[in-house]
């Protein structure tokens, strides 16, 4: 089905913009698969990197955390830098590659090389069968850092394309939701493949290097095919870099999403500025202007808390299952798989996000997801090896909650950017910066505590298991609750989060009545 185009008031530079294109299922899918390589690699990275470095590479808990932390730091620093450079670049217009596709392609190449260098083969072992500890730590830290730089380039470029592709809320929500659906499916594929590879692993043992190499190969091949599909099937605005218009006319503290509120009707998400709307031709922001926007920091806090919730649970699920609950090796694939399968059902529910926001608002929607996360983790705290079977049901609740808070926070970013596409990549980069740094610090602290416990109790794993339980249950739950509190403050404190009163004119009503499946157009 095609969705007929409707008029757009956005300015179009250098020719026809994809913002006025007709959206089809094929085009939506082509955009959505552009992040699959990132998703499949990230699934293995966060779920199994510490397990791999501990059990296969032979690094200590702290050394393993240093590798992950170095990657997080590199990602955190590279992400806003990539955002600024991507916003200022032109790409290669002669071959149809705009700035976003160019950076995404370069990042993808870096991912393939470095990801295989971590999980696929250890280069120092090609020259020395027994490399020193320092050699291994430096090698894995450098590989992790370069991998995360490439990952950041792909993530920022892909996310920053949404505001450039369309100004319509329905389309943006569908693009974000479909993108997240492929995130879920990518993770599901990784865990299904790993489950197949683990079928002959003895209970309470971990997979060997060969199985990680096979998993890496599958991830890179599938991800590479999807990246090619995205590059061929997604139309990008290819334009020259122009000097950003002056932002003198903007009011400090106003939300950039206010500018597009003038042209949005009942399809709009429930955000509005706390100050009068600024005319559309004065809304362009440079990257430095964002530091004067109060909502920029609030959305950053929500996104950081969301990613901390999702990532810490993902990183420590394998340790909770094997060290705390003494479950079999296959459980480290089955339980994460259930988390993401349950996310598929949550993804289907995200198509009702518009209704949820009209009835509950962003605040209520996020709070519902945070409540599911907290309930799941609170009950997980009570599990013992004898009652460990309940983890399968609780992982479903966790997946539902994670999906709701993740989609909500990503849509928050899109609303913050609004029509300020010239500096949109910087915004996504800055949000990701807070995510990476906070996650890196959290994992480093947890692993440092674990190593201290293991040194203190060398003949027992019970104490380590209880600390893993604490880290897995408390840190993500507190993060989810803090994110919900931040949204509550945005709604009732700073007033940057205000429900919009729908006022439909004739053209907006006509847009709503276009098709049975109303995705809208740019």
Residue 414 has pLDDT above 70, yes or no: yes
pLDDT tens for each residue of 249-283: 444 344 433 333 333 333 333 333 333 333 333 35
pLDDT of amino acid 419: 63
pLDDT of amino acid 14: 39
pLDDT tens for each residue of 134-162: 999 999 999 999 999 999 899 888 888 88
> Is residue 223 domain-resident?
yes
Q: Residues for the chain: how many in total?
A: 522
Q: Give how far the C-alpha of residue 211 lies from the chain's centroid of Cα atoms, to the nearest Å.
A: 26
pLDDT of amino acid 214: 92
> Is residue 519 domain-resident?
no
pLDDT tens for each residue of 33-66: 999 999 999 989 988 999 999 888 889 999 999 9
Report if pTM > 0.75: no
Please name which of 248, 251, 274, 249 lies closest in space to residue 261, comparing C-alpha atoms.
Answer: 274
Residue 504 has pLDDT above 70, yes or no: no
pLDDT of amino acid 240: 57
The more confident residue out of 408 and 258 is 408
Please name which of 458, 96, 438, 166 lies closest in space to residue 300, comparing C-alpha atoms.
Answer: 438
pLDDT of amino acid 21: 63
The more confident residue out of 467 and 432 is 467
C-alpha to C-alpha distance for 439 and 441, rounded to whole angstroms = 5
For residues 271 and 361, the answer to whether their CB atoms sit within 8 Å is no
For residues 423 and 286, the answer to whether their CB atoms sit within 8 Å is yes
Q: Which domain does 496 fall in, by range?
A: 22-244+280-512
- Cβ neighbors of 277 (< 8 A, separation 6 or more) are 258, 259, 261, 262
> Is residue 306 domain-resident?
yes
User: φ and ψ at 141, to 5 degrees?
Assistant: -65, -45
Average pLDDT, the chain: 78
pLDDT of amino acid 107: 94
Instruction: Tell me how many degrees the CA angle 81-146-46 measures, rounded to the nearest 5.
Output: 100
> Is residue 520 domain-resident?
no
pLDDT category of residue 383 using cuts at 50, 70 and 90 = very high
C-alpha to C-alpha distance for 362 and 415, rounded to whole angstroms = 11
> Is residue 489 domain-resident?
yes
For 252, other C-beta atoms within 10 Å of its C-beta total 9
> Is residue 16 domain-resident?
no
> What's the structural domain count of the chain?
1
The pLDDT of 408-436, averaged and rounded, is: 77
pLDDT of amino acid 52: 92
The pLDDT of 323-349, averaged and rounded, is: 80
pLDDT of amino acid 134: 93
The pLDDT of 107-122, averaged and rounded, is: 93
CATH number at residue 205: 1.20.1250.20
pLDDT category of residue 340 using cuts at 50, 70 and 90 = confident
> Is residue 313 domain-resident?
yes
pLDDT tens for each residue of 460-490: 889 999 999 999 999 999 999 999 999 988 8
> Is residue 412 domain-resident?
yes
pLDDT tens for each residue of 164-221: 887 777 787 788 878 878 888 898 899 999 988 887 666 556 677 888 999 999 999 9
Highest mean pLDDT among 192-206, 375-389, 451-465: 375-389
- Cβ neighbors of 439 (< 8 A, separation 6 or more) are 72, 307, 308, 311, 312
pLDDT category of residue 390 using cuts at 50, 70 and 90 = very high
pLDDT of amino acid 79: 78
pLDDT tens for each residue of 72-109: 889 888 877 887 888 787 777 777 788 888 899 999 99
pLDDT category of residue 422 using cuts at 50, 70 and 90 = low
């Amino acid at each position: 089905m095609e969705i007929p185009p409707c008029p757009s008031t956005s300015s179009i530079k250098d020719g026809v913009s994809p913002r006025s294109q007709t959206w089809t299922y094929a085009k939506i899918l082509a955009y959505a698969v552009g992040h699959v390589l990132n998703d499949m690699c990230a699934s293995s990275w966060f779920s199994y990197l510490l397990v791999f470095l501990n059990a296969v590479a032979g690094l200590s808990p702290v050394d393993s955390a240093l590798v992950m932390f170095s990657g997080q730091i590199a990602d955190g620093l590279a992400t806003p830098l990539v955002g600024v450079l991507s916003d200022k670049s032109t790409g290669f217009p002669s071959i149809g590659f705009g700035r976003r596709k160019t950076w995404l392609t370069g990042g993808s190449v870096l991912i393939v090389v470095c990801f295989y260098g971590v999980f696929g083969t250890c280069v120092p072992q090609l020259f020395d069968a027994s490399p020193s500890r320092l050699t291994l730590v430096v090698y894995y830290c450098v590989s992790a850092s370069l991998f995360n730089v490439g990952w950041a380039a792909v993530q920022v470029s892909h996310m920053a394309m949404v505001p450039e592709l369309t100004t319509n809320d329905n389309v943006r929500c569908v693009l974000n939701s479909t993108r997240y659906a492929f995130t879920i499916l990518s993770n599901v594929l990784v865990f299904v493949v790993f489950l197949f590879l683990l079928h002959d692993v003895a209970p309470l043992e971990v997979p060997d290097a060969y199985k990680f190499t096979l998993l890496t190969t599958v991830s890179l091949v599938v991800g590479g095919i999807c990246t090619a599909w995205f590059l061929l099937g997604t139309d990008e605005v290819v334009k020259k870099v122009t000097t950003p218009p002056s932002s003198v006319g903007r009011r400090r503290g106003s939300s950039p999403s206010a500018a597009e509120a003038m042209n949005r009707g009942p399809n709009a998400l429930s955000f509005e500025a706390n100050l009068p709307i600024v005319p559309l031709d004065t809304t362009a922001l440079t990257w430095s202007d964002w530091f004067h926007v109060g909502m920029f920091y609030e959305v950053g806090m929500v996104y950081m808390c969301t990613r901390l919730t999702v990532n810490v649970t993902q990183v420590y699920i394998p340790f909770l299952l094997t060290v705390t609950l003494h479950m079999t090796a296959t459980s480290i694939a089955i339980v994460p798989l259930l988390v993401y399968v349950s996310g598929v059902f949550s993804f289907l529910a995200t198509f009702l996000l518009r209704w949820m926001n009209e009835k509950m608002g962003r605040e209520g929607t996020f709070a519902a997801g945070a409540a599911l996360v907290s309930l799941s983790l609170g009950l997980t705290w009570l599990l013992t090896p004898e009652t460990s079977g309940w983890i399968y049901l609780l992982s479903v609740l966790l997946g539902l909650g994670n999906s709701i808070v993740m989609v909500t926070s990503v849509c928050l970013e899109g609303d913050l950017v609004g029509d300020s596409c010239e500096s949109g990549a910087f915004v996504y980069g800055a949000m990701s910066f807070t995510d990476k740094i906070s996650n890196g610090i959290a994992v480093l602290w947890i692993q440092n505590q674990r190593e201290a416990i293991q040194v203190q109790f060398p003949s027992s794993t019970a104490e380590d298991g209880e600390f893993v339980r604490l880290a897995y249950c408390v840190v993500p739950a507190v993060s989810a609750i803090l994110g919900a509190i931040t949204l509550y403050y945005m709604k009732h404190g700073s007033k940057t989060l205000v429900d919009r009163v729908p006022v439909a004119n004739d053209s907006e009503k006509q847009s709503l009545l276009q098709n049975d499946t109303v995705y809208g157009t740019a």
